[in-house]
Amino acid sequence: MSGAPDKFPVYPDEQGSSQYHTQSSKEQFEAVYQQYNSRIRHYLSTKVNPVHAEDLTQLVFMKVLQNLHTFRDESSLFTWIFKIARNTLLSEYRSQSRVRESASELSEFAAIPLDYAEQVEIRIDIRCAIQKLTALDQQIIELRFYAGCTLLEIAEIVGMRQSAVKNRYYRALERLRSELNEWGDITIMSIENRFAVIHKDDSDSSTPSSSTLNQQQQQQQQSKVHKDLFEELRLNVDRLSKTYKHASTRKIIFEIYPDLPAFHQAVGEPDAPNWFMGTYEGDVIKMVSPLNPGPEHTYRTILQSAVHLFAMWLITDINPGAPKWIRQGVGAYETKQMTAEYLRDTMVDAVKKGAIPHFADLDNDTWDFERMLGFQFSYKLVEFITAEYGLDALNKLIRSPYDYQGICKRSEIELREQWIAYMTKQQ
């Protein structure tokens, strides 16, 4: 097992927290909130759904505000805050009569970040593997990865020596590595700098031989899925970065959910249509597993959609103000998921009737986008600009999306008329 050094930052309170006592109450609280809010929220999100975690985080910091004056440097400041968070969580469980069989029960989606390349990171649900650890080891792993605790902080929280915590931490990582190691020909070097996958076995078989067979089949499926996903990304990530002349300095994360209901619930859209299989929030791309694509997708289209979503994220990284038609159009254009026949058949009536949206209409983040054929029209608009003005013009429009005159030497009205003529000619 690799003895990789601690990669987590050293926080100021580890040097002593008397600095907070020299500040005004308002300054104290603001400094504490900025430093620890995200860590507490991230930890709570492993216990309850994200919306509930946000509410509980606010409740925790209300208690911190009320009691910060009582902090006496008897532990690190984070440890003190974490104990408030843990007690708040326990009170919440009791108030809802929710009985936890384990001290470390995770929420519906649990993921440890595992490096793939310099620019891409994959997060997979590894809940089943974690639950095979002892309760104490689960707690140590959660505190380390989800709350971002240092080993010293974990030692204070669990009441053990730091050396003992370090030993348990690396033994727990080794157990996880063993659980996640045997799929395909990819060797798991370390859970901190590689990636691994495990899916829950939903088999109801009662015979050991059948259960073993199902597990073997599942491992083979998992191996193929993630080889294919990585291959899809490997073939396209660098290409897209070169095409659009942008290499982000930040890492993007893929979170993969087991099925559509789990994905829809995770992104706060439980009633979303079945075609909605992926989205991105900040630097996190969230998508459904290719193994359970739903009724409107296939294994292959989910893999293509991972590239589609990456392309959209890349355009947003270049220009957060880029309109949806550019983001969505580039994603669709680069993956070619919509065939020429499909585009022609679905757009023919709208083109004949002149029901062509204006550019502003295509900057629409509601479900109306699909109803107005926004995916198809965005694709055709990007295709048109590339065909008539070249990739360099498209790159300029990504960065200055309303400078039609300067880039294409046409007004918006003239450019739209040329685009309509382009589509009409193809029908």
| pTM for this predicted structure | 0.56
Is residue 307 over pLDDT 90? yes
- The Cα 104–Cα 134 span in angstroms is 9
Is residue 214 over pLDDT 80? no
Considering only residues 299 and 252, tell me which one the structure prediction assigns the higher pLDDT.
299
Cα-atom radius of gyration of the chain, to the nearest Å?
25
Q: Which region holds residue 159: left if phi is over 0, alpha if psi is between -120 and 50, else beta?
A: left
Q: Residue 333 is which amino acid? A: Y
pLDDT of residue 37: 87
Residue 14's pLDDT band (cuts 50, 70, 90): very low
- The Cα 224–Cα 222 span in angstroms is 5
pLDDT of residue 413: 95
Measured CA distances, 288 to 275, 280, 303, 345 (Å): 11, 12, 10, 28
Residue 128's pLDDT band (cuts 50, 70, 90): low
Residues 268-277: tens digit of each pLDDT: 999 999 999 9
With contact defined as beta carbons under 8 Å apart, do 39 and 146 qualify? no
Report the side by side order of strands in the sheet with 252-257: 111-115, 120-125, 252-257, 284-288, 278-281
Which element (helix H / strand E) includes 123? strand 120-125
DSSP E strands in 173-291: the ranges are 252-257, 278-281, 284-288
pLDDT of residue 132: 77
Structure tokens, 314? 């890349």
What's the mean pLDDT in 19-32? Answer: 66
- The Cα 293–Cα 274 span in angstroms is 9
- The Cα 275–Cα 259 span in angstroms is 12
Which element (helix H / strand E) includes 121? strand 120-125
Q: Residue 210 is which amino acid? A: S
End-to-end CA distance of the chain: 61
CB atoms within 10 A of CB 235: 10
Q: Residue 228 is which amino acid? A: D
131 HSE (CA, 13 A, CB side) = 16
What's the mean pLDDT in 1-6? Answer: 36
With contact defined as beta carbons under 8 Å apart, do 251 and 282 qualify? no
- What is the SS3 assignment for 368-412? HHHHCCHHHHHHHHHHHHHHHHCHHHHHHHHHCCCCHHHHHCCCH
- The Cα 310–Cα 41 span in angstroms is 26
Closest CA to 18 of 84, 62, 76, 81: 76
Residues 143-152: tens digit of each pLDDT: 887 777 888 8
The residue behind tokens 């730091």 is 162
Structure tokens, 423? 């589509």
The residue behind tokens 């880039």 is 407
Give 279-284's long-range contacts (Cβ < 8 A, gap of 24+).
Answer: 279/309, 280/309, 280/312, 280/313, 280/316, 283/250, 283/251, 283/252, 283/253, 283/313, 284/123, 284/252, 284/253, 284/254, 284/255
Closest CA to 338 of 325, 351, 347: 347
Residue 194's pLDDT band (cuts 50, 70, 90): very low
Domains, the chain, ordered by start: 12-95 (1.10.1740.10), 129-180 (1.10.10.10), 211-318 (no CATH), 320-427 (no CATH)
Structure tokens, 378? 């965005």
pLDDT of residue 402: 94
Closest CA to 59 of 80, 39, 93, 84: 84
